[in-house]
């Protein structure tokens, strides 16, 4: 150890589930008496929390391992731990190209960190903990949660794993079968968060619409939302991600009826071509997606809808891609996360025939981004002059005379103000649109 108080850092990027895992690791380490530091250079223990959702984060993790190899050569006492989806997927194979790694931790083994670290510091063992839980007949096992640090906004996982096996995705392999947390545990975690000053929660899961499946007590996602809406002190409830095939009328009704549930739905469509959707194993057609969206927009009129789009999937023809462009024109998403397909080892899509070349995939991605950016700009422009409720989250990083927060529709709003506004709800008029949201001014009637 290089100081009297042992130190750790978590190097992380990737999805929100990954972010939540990083927070759990940090909470555990703090409880063990370690102090968090910003850089691996100052740390006694480095956690590399990896993501396998796309090839790029995996490449980044491997290049970080190269940097950690040098650090470990300079300081052999440094403990290097690899966790997250890449750790789960690659397991012991990581040691074939990074033999210096002390600890490989699977996605369901974070709670074992104290015991694993103890073994390493005592014996300098090289250890792996990679068991994924099995779904028991009567009660699924879910990870043990650690007490959170107080914060204004928090992610709260409500379920883990996924049973959908979309052809391009590793999650069912890296996070195991779908398991829902007991509702009482979720409510208790949210109540504790409120006690620490939290006002907004985002419920997390790979397919939150399916919450409750397999639990002994009969329950479902709308029921959870109704119960959370009754928790005093919580002011906003968000959730992600929703699978279109599981967007029920009951959930749409809950979104319309519950004042704390924000008017925003992230509903990944991925493609506008039914042939591609079938090869992706998404289990809906573009017409079914549009039908669900029409019902949603008729019931919750001011809702913002965002999506994920994946272009260049194996076998995607020009006509398939044009169907995606047409769907994007028709739906007019508020925003989209857009990606070019990259084959991930271990997924069905990686071995499919008719893989497209990089130039074709990237040309299609650029065309799609151009279209979606135009639509986002048009939607934001059409909302000029409207007044939005903003939960002020902090001072703008770019301009210290401004504060920043999100609308209920999940758009960024920056406006003149100071740190005294942090944590307050402020009515703000949108005065200048941007692709990322709005510049605004506080409404005098706030």
Residue numbers of the site for ligand SF4 (CB under 6 A)? 162, 164-166, 169, 171-172, 206-207, 243
Least gap, CB of 432 to ligand SF4 (angstroms): 35
Tell me whether residue 210 or residue 380 sits nearer to ligand SF4 (CB atom): 210
Least gap, CB of 169 to ligand SF4 (angstroms): 3
Contact 369, 339 (CB under 8 A): no
Q: Which residue has the tokens 């090869």?
A: 279
Tell me whether residue 339 or residue 415 sits nearer to ligand SF4 (CB atom): 339
Tell me whether residue 78 or residue 267 sits nearer to ligand SF4 (CB atom): 267
Least gap, CB of 279 to ligand SF4 (angstroms): 13
Residues 315 and 312: their CA atoms lie apart, in Å, by 8
Tell me whether residue 185 or residue 308 sits nearer to ligand SF4 (CB atom): 308
Q: For residue 104, give both structure tokens.
A: 């490989």
Least gap, CB of 221 to ligand SF4 (angstroms): 15
Count how many Cα atoms sit within 13 Å of the Cα of residue 85 in the half-sphere of its side chain.
28
Tell me whether residue 17 or residue 391 sits nearer to ligand SF4 (CB atom): 17
- Residue 413 has φ and ψ, to the nearest 5°, of -130, 125
Helix (H) / strand (E) containing 375: helix 358-382
Beta bridge partners of 413: 405, 438
Least gap, CB of 352 to ligand SF4 (angstroms): 16
Least gap, CB of 239 to ligand SF4 (angstroms): 14
Residues 237 and 298: their CA atoms lie apart, in Å, by 21
239 CB-near residues (< 8 Å, 6+ apart): 158, 202, 203, 204, 205, 208, 221, 225
Contact 388, 396 (CB under 8 A): no
Residues 171 and 386: their CA atoms lie apart, in Å, by 40
Tell me whether residue 161 or residue 440 sits nearer to ligand SF4 (CB atom): 161
Residues 7 and 289: their CA atoms lie apart, in Å, by 48
């Amino acid at each position: 150890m290089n100081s009297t108080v042992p130190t750790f850092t978590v190097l992380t990027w990737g999805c929100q589930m990954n972010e939540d895992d990083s927070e759990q690791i940090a909470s555990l380490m703090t409880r063990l008496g370690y102090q968090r530091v910003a850089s691996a250079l100052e740390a006694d223990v480095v956690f590399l929390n990896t993501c396998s959702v796309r090839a790029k984060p995996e490449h980044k993790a491997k290049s970080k391992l190269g940097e950690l190899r040098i650090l470990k050569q300079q300081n052999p006492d440094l403990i290097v731990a690899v966790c997250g989806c890449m750790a789960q997927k690659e397991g012991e194979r990581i040691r074939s190209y990074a033999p210096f790694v002390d600890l490989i931790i699977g996605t369901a083994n974070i709670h074992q960190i104290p015991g694993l670290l103890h073994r390493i510091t005592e014996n300098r063992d090289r250890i792996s903990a990679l068991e994924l839980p099995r779904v028991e007949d009567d009660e699924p096992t879910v990870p043990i949660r650690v007490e959170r640090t107080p914060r204004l906004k928090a992610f709260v996982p409500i379920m883990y794993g996924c049973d959908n096996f979309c052809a391009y995705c590793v999650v069912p392999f890296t996070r195991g079968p779908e398991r829902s947390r007991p509702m009482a545990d979720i409510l208790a975690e949210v109540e504790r968060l409120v006690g620490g000053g939290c006002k907004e929660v985002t419920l997390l899961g790979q397919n939150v619409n399916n919450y409750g499946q397999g639990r002994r007590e009969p329950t479902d996602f709308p029921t959870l939302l109704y119960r959370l809406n009754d928790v005093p002190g919580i002011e906003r409830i968000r959730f992600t991600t929703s699978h279109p095939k599981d967007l029920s009328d009951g959930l749409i009704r809950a979104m319309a009826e519950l004042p704390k549930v924000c008017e925003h739905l992230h509903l990944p469509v991925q493609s506008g071509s039914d042939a591609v959707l079938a090869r992706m194993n998404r289990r809906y057609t573009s017409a079914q997606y549009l039908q669900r969206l029409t019902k949603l927009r008729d019931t919750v009129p001011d809702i913002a809808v965002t999506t994920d789009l994946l272009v260049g999937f194996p076998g995607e023809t020009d006509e398939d891609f044009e169907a995606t462009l047409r769907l994007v024109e028709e739906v007019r998403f508020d925003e989209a996360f857009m990606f070019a397909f990259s084959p991930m080892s271990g997924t069905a899509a990686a071995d499919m025939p008719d893989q497209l070349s990089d130039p074709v995939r990237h040309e299609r991605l650029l065309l799609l981004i151009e279209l979606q950016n135009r639509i986002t700009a048009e939607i934001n422009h059409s909302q000029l002059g409207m007044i939005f409720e903003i939960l002020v989250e902090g001072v703008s990083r770019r301009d210290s005379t401004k504060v920043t927060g999100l609308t209920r529709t999940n758009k960024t709003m920056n406006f003149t103000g100071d740190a005294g506004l942090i944590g307050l709800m402020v009515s703000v008029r949108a005065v200048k649109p941007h692709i990322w949201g709005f510049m605004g001014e506080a409404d005098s009637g706030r």
